[in-house]
Structures are given as structure tokens and as C-alpha cells.
Structure 1
Amino acid sequence: MGKPLDPAALDAALRNVHRAGMPGLFAEVRDGEQVWRGAAGVADVATGRPVTADLRHRVGSITKTFTAAAILQQVEGGLIGLDAPIGRYLPKLVPGERGDAITVRMLLNHTSGLAEYLPYAYPSLRAFPDLAKTTPQSLDDHRFTRFDPVELIAMGVSAPAVGTPGGALGLYSNTNYLLLGELLEEVTGTTAARYLTENVIDRAGLCDTELPAGPHPRGPHSQLYEAWFGMIDPPRDFSVFDMSWVGPAASLISTVADLNRFFRRLLAGEIVSPASLAQMQRTVRVVSQEGRTIDYGLGLHPMEGTAGGDTFWGHGGTVWGAGALTMIRADGARQLSVAVNLQRWNRLDAAGRPQPHPVDGALAELYRVALHG
């Protein structure tokens, strides 16, 4: 077990991330009843407005844990079969043999073999994962674009398969979670956003968490700066952005306090049953969007970089300009949620690989101090 929280050490670790090049970041760390919240840097580089620990923030793919919990609720209610083929529910979206072969579980744990739709939705990003050839122009072009999830799904389904359904090595793909959003709507008769709000967000008692309806974040928030591996210099503010391009895969807005509350209640069996939580913690090997091989469950995974003998569960997330990470020790006692307002700060070498940056080491040290003391 880690040592008790050290507020001075946590403050110093947070400031070091800011000094390493992060405009602003904020975090909440919990150890039992002991709570520390901190912030360092600015929420707006133009005005110098400081970040505070209570700001609302785009948390990216942490949304997937919320969506997975909603699906597991429907499994508990008997409306969805975890190992049933997706073609049973959405035959028009995943037709034929693939619809028969891909199960709901495979969508949740990214072993469906369905490709990521993003390179096809954003033509100028088509070079994924060869990031050295991409340009940021499409980010500006689509700030206010309202994407149709069915059209995005069709792009992913029609793209060349990236694996065999249920294969030994999965590939992380947002197409899976857009399909899960459509599945939720099919079986509940309401929108995925409304179901998630009423049955996951409200059930967890979250007051500052929402799936945004439009491009403008509500409430106090930071500006969000995208560097796109040095190709946007200086980094550009993308805090205003229509999040229909990721929907139930990555559009959530939350706070570090709400994230900690949600994951605490999830691991306590208050959002889904203990049996469903056990299913969420059954992992397979998956290649992440960064090209690393990780263990991944159903919208939840054990976290890397948490050496110290304890197991932590959680999720990370990025969107344009915003990043967040949340993790909780298996016993539910120790937690960290952190949000940053700059993304893709690493420049690329000649081979297109991100180069080391002082922010990376400073964040790793923050995680170590937060989780282990």
C-alpha cells in the first residue's frame, strides 16, 4: 500500500509538470477519507487566467467506461446478451457474416476486428499511424461539423478489417463504441446521451458531468491547446468543438472530482453489479492508438506506470487539446484523476516517432507521488 498523501509533494509534482511545458493542469487525489486537490498553470495563455481544480474538462475516451457500464446494465436487465452477435440487434449496421461473428463483448473489448473510422472521417488525417505525414487543417475545418454516427460507423465497417473477430490481439477502435451507442438506443428506445445521463451519470451522483449537445462547453473550463506534434506552433485553442465525431466513445465533459466519484462507485458495485464489474475486469491484449499493447477489459483496464505492487484500474482519454487520466486502486481506497490542457506536445523524429519531452517524465513522477507517496 502507498504512503499517506503528502500535499506539499503533490503540489510540487504538479508545478513541475507545468514548468516542464504544460500550460495548465489540475488533479484530485484521494486516500480513504483524505482528499487533496491542486492546480498549476493557466487556463488561458492569452489572459493568464489560472486553472483551478474544479474546472470542467473534456475527458475523451474515459467516456468509454460510462458507455460500457450502460451496456452492462442492459445485460443485467436481459435486453442485451454480452456474447450475442451484434447482427441480432443492428443487422443493417453490421450485416452478414461479420454481424454474426462480432459479439457485444468484442465491441466492448476492441476484439471485433472493425477498423477505426477516424482516418476516413478526416481525410487529412488518413496517414494514421504515420503521424509525420498528417496536417492539422481538418481540425479547423470540422470545428462545427455535425457528424452522423451511422455514417461514421459505415466508414469503419467498410474499411479493411484489422483483425479476426475474437482474435487473440485486438485493436482499439472508436467504431466499436459508436456501435455500442446505437445498440443502447435500439434496446432502450431513447438516445444514448439520455440513457447515460439518467442511468449512469445521475446514478453516480455526478453534478458536473455531461455529454454535450453542442460545441461550446458549459460552465467554468480551460481553453484547450492542440500542438499536433509541433505542427501547430504555437498550439491552437480547440476548446470549442462539436463532439459528434466521437459521441459515446469520447465526448464526455467532467471534473476530476466527478471522475473519482464515478470510479469509486463503479468499483464498489453501485453502478453495475459485482458480477458485471468482474466481466469488465476480464482483460484481453489490445493494441492501443499509440501502438502499445495493453490489457483491456470492457471499457476499463489496469493502468500502466503504476509500479509499486498495487493494481489500479481506470482509463485515459484525449481529444483535441484536452487530456485526462483516472485510476483507482483495486480496493477503492487510493485514487487519482488529472486533467491537462495541451495535447500532442511531443515533436516527431524523422521516422514519425514522438520524441521524449520533459512533460512525460514530470507526469510520470506526479503519478508516482499521487499513487504511492
Structure 2
Amino acid sequence: MNDYTLAPGAPRPRRLRRSAAVRRLVREHRLNPADLVLPMFVKESLHEPAELQSMPGVHQHTLDSLVEAAVAAADAGVGGLMLFGIPAERDEIGSQGWAPDGILNRAIAAVRAAVGERTVVMADLCLDEFTSHGHCGVLDAVGAVDNDATLDAYTRMALAQAEAGAEVLGLSGMMDGQVAAVRHALDTAGRTDVIVLAYAAKYSSAFYGPFREAVESPLQGDRRTYQQDPANGREALRELDLDLAEGADIVMVKPGLPYLDVLADVAAASPVPVWSYQISGEYAMIEFAARAGAIDRMPAILESLLSFKRAGADAILTYWAAEVAVELGAAR
């Protein structure tokens, strides 16, 4: 039997955990629907929404169903919508990415018209959804990604997406100089109002698997020559410094949960907002674990999102954004 007792006046941190009301009052980090961004997929050839097998609850949308889901997310208070397009036809250079009538640009215009300024309409600016080879850039004669030729394609996409109504452009390709190239193109065209979201630290990750189904990626091989090595942490801060110098308005760390240390380092160093992306594999792990009865689904979702806030994320891209926004609204 332990006869030890705390001395009078000894610290008792449990006082601040004694009830739900006290815990709520002293909570250090909180989730808000406005902190959440919903990634959404629109597929040109669809006639009705198609649920993804590897991401239960996530759909490839038709243009009509995308608009309907976007309005529902805006109604729930979601902070933003990140749109990805899957064209009916792909080519070597990804030309549907900047075609005015391309599926992504039509989707941007339709969603922006439907939601107005109730939420922020964003577009993924990368070639991987549009190229026949699945890489994030244009290939050279030997099949390697040509960094500088890709920048020209990115500037075309940027101007097309801005014209369609995108307020934030998500530069996810990890090409050297992409932020400077896009910022210069936008400013030269008089679009100084468009926000550049730089994927400053985007790692070559095994957790992207379900996303490849979502965009029907034809990629053979990998993206290790342009996405970061998972073994490197300091490199993310170098990428951050470069993107800031080139004019990034917001920076991103991707993936999320396996890179919370990188997120914390970037958040501590960045003078601009820092976001993170809870990617498809992270989503799938929780969904399938919950379906197997291994975890309690919604508490696990909320705990995972709080970990991003604790690490320093100002906003989080998550496929649960609309559902969690409703959940948070109901809890108030």
C-alpha cells in the first residue's frame, strides 16, 4: 500500500481536467470549420458521381454534383474548396490543364458562380491529372521531367485558372522556380489579386496511393526526382525560404500526419500562413480501421485534425472537411 500523499500546495494539473466544461475553457487548440479546406474531384466523362473504392465517402463528381457538394460545404462553413480535374482526354503536355473549356477550368467557374464569396475557391495547379504519362511536368527527349519547360505550362495554367475565377492557385508540382514563374505571369497579366499557395514541402510518399485512383493516374515509375526525400527535414526549410523569396502568399506541408515535425519547423519559421494536407492514405487508414472496429471513427478524425493545429497549421486540407464542419456546428 502506498501511503505517499502530495504535500499541501503541490502542483495538481488534474484540476484543469476535472470536467468537460473546464477542459473546454482551458483548451489550447480548437478546430473551426473555417480552418478546413475540402479537396474535390470532377471527372469530365462521368454521368453520375462515383464513389472511390480506396476512399469510402469520397467521390469523383460530375460538374453538376460538384456544384451541389460545393454549395453544401459552403453552407456548413468550410473555409475553402480545392478542385482537381480529370479530363476525358490526356496528352503529352497536359494541354487540357490550360484549355479554357477544360474540365477543371469549367468547374472553377461553375463553383465560383454557385458559392460566390461564401468560401474560397482554389485550384490545383499541376500537370499530373492532365498528362498521358502522369508526371507533374513536361518530359524531355529522354523521358525525364524538364523543369523549365514545365514552368511555361504552369504559367499557362495559372492564367487560365485565374480567368476562370480561382482565388488561390495550389502549386503542387515541386518544380524549381515555380512560384516565381507563376507570380510573374499573374502580375504581368494584372492579376495581382490571385493568391499563390506554394507546396513548399511536398514529399515523395507511400501515402498517396488512393489519390492515384481518384485522378486515375497513368503514372509509371515515381516522382522522386522532384518531390522531397522523406528522410530530409532541413531541406523543407530551404524550400520554404526559396518560395517566400519568390512571392508565396501561403505555404503547404504535404503529407500531414507522418510529417508533423516538418510542419512544426515550417510553422515556427514562416511569416506567412502555413497549411497542411491530410492526404488520401491518411484518410483511408482511419476509414478502414473504423470499419474494422479497431477505432472510434469520429473521435479519431477529430484527434488527427487537432494534431495539425497543435503542430502549427493555420488551415488543413482534409477529405472530411464538410462532415467535420457539420459535426463542429452541431457540437456548439
TM-score, with length taken from structure 1: 0.27
Which protein is bigger by CA-based radius of gyration?
Answer: 2
- Point out the structure with the larger helix share: 2
TM-score, with length taken from structure 2: 0.29
